[in-house]
């Protein structure tokens, strides 16, 4: 197994390993260590069935809960992210976000496997929330440690959300409902349960306010943090190829699906792994 960093801060390509078979103990420990260090890992040149994809994921945890989206037949924990060449409408995964941060226990990790990939376009961009937090002033860090963000799925899956209404022209079966209006709070600074490193835990898709603050007060702080987190210095970018499997630490990263491959079909398989309540 060869781990090649993508940037000087985070992200890595992983080659010379076969994920279609069970990992031996040394391989598993090596991937876990690389994941803790790099936050985003892209395994290249993998040939996987759905069963093998699931088996690989389960070596790192249990499946997470995936609401609002109909999974693949016979595989209730796998989503088929499909977009046809002539498909219009919003792209699933666009907007900077941390997967399902509106859940009480958001996913620890997300795994995405490239089945049918355009010849160019469709990259996924990532930002490191640990790097973003570390670059803040001590005064801002201290302020944020005492605050809780308000998270909700309403902007995406509520009745008036991006995917709140049924669309017969959409390849993916996404069904928003009133449950998306629910809100809950998470610390705006969370501590990674394995590394002990602090990171921001807010995102522009699901974080809609700050607990105990008026909307205009919360808006000012959140907009600053969103802009700060998007700085190029905290970013890396994965270029997809058929057979690429990328896994990212959902607790310390945000990601953005880039919509620049109109005219091409793309199919990905996605799994989330169960996480813990942010602390």
Spatial distance between the Cα atoms of 126 and 54, rounded to a whole number of angstroms:
23
The sign of the torsion formed by the CA atoms of 201, 203, 209, 213 equals positive
Residue 115: which of 60, 78, 89 has the closest Cα? 78
* Long-range contact pairs involving 236-239 (C-beta distance under 8 Å, separation at least 24): 236/6, 236/7, 236/9, 236/10, 236/11, 236/40, 236/125, 236/126, 236/128, 237/6, 237/123, 237/124, 237/125, 237/126, 238/6, 238/11, 238/40, 238/42, 238/123, 238/124, 238/125, 238/126, 239/123
With 0-12 / 13-18 / 19 or more C-beta atoms within 10 angstroms meaning exposed / middle / buried, residue 232 is: exposed
State the catalytic residues: 97, 99, 255, 270
């Amino acid at each position: 197994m060869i781990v090649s960093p993508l940037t000087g801060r985070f992200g890595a390509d992983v080659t010379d390993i076969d994920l279609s078979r069970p990992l031996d103990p040394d391989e598993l420990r090596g991937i876990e260590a690389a994941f803790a260090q790099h936050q985003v890992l892209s395994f290249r040149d993998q040939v996987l069935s759905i069963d093998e994809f699931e088996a690989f994921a389960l070596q790192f945890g249990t499946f997470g809960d995936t609401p609002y989206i109909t999974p693949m037949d016979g595989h209730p924990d796998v989503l088929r992210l499909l977009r046809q060449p002539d498909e219009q409408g919003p792209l699933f995964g666009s907007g900077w976000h941390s997967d399902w941060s509106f859940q009480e226990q958001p996913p620890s990790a997300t795994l995405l496997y490239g089945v049918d990939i355009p010849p160019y376009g469709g990259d996924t961009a990532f930002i490191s929330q640990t790097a973003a937090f570390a670059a803040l002033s001590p005064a801002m860090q201290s302020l944020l440690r005492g605050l809780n963000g308000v998270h909700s799925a309403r902007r995406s899956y509520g009745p008036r959300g991006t995917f709140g209404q049924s669309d017969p022209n959409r390849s993916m079966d996404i069904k928003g409902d009133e449950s998306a209006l629910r809100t809950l709070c998470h610390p705006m600074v969370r501590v990674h349960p394995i590394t002990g490193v602090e990171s921001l835990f807010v995102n522009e898709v699901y974080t809609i306010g700050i607990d105990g603050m008026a909307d205009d007060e919360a808006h000012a702080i959140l907009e600053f943090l969103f802009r700060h987190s998007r700085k190029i210095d905290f970013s890396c970018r994965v270029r997809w190829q058929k057979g690429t499997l990328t896994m990212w630490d959902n607790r310390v990263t945000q990601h953005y699906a880039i919509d620049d491959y109109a005219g091409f079909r793309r199919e990905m398989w996605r799994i989330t792994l169960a996480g813990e309540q942010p602390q």
